[in-house]
Amino acid sequence: MAKLYFYYASMNAGKSTNLLQADFNYRERGMATMLFTAAVDDRFAAGTIASRIGLSAPATMFDPATDLAGLALARHAEAPLACVLVDEAQFLTATQVDQLAALADRAGIPVLAYGLRTDFRGALFEGSARLLALADSLVEIKSVCECGRKATMNLRVDAEGRPVAEGRQTEIGGNDRYVALCRRHFSEAFQAKG
């Protein structure tokens, strides 16, 4: 039975690297896959999943209006898909997560979704909340705080490295905008600011 997997972590934990490795494993065995990435993520070339260690692969971009299941089923009709992989899964809508669950349940195609659990305020993203509710398997990818503990939070910082507590939920950035921290150091960063 195909499953819906949610691999989640803080920033800089290697989510995209893990996704690209899983994709490589399927393709190395001659199996077809379909990759999706969020159109809003403009850090790299459009329609590309790229990792910080230099790996990349082309992907179909999605936005809130994209019918992921429809696109996957159309591709599946051309050549059977062994797996669907989704990067930046926090940007999925709840409806899109429902589509992915149906893809696993009804079409028998495993779906591996990779993304952040929480935003820079510690709040769940819509896609992540629905994945936490529906996924058959929840897998935390570990990252490390500056103190050596497990990083679970994403601190947004300004150009001078100061914590940012307000703003839009989605602001695309990498090491220049976000720091992965344990909960203690995340909280202390805001206490020191105030």
Residues noted as catalytic: 88
Count Cβ neighbours within 10 Å for each residue of 116-126 and write b for 16 or more, e otherwise. Answer: bbbbbeeeebb
Spell out the residues 6+ positions from residue 63 whose beta carbon is closer than 8 angstroms to its own. 38, 39, 40
Q: What angle do CA 137, 141, 145 make, to 5 degrees?
A: 145
Burial classification of residue 28, based on how many CB atoms lie within 10 Å of its CB (0-12 exposed, 13-18 middle, 19 or more buried): exposed
Of 149, 148, 153, the closest CA to residue 116 belongs to 153
> Within its chain, how far is the Cα of 164 from the centroid?
22
Where residue 132 falls (left for φ over 0; alpha for ψ -120 to 50; beta otherwise) is alpha
Spell out the residues 6+ positions from residue 176 whose beta carbon is closer than 8 angstroms to its own. none
What span, in angstroms and rounded, lies between the C-alpha atoms of 193 and 49?
35
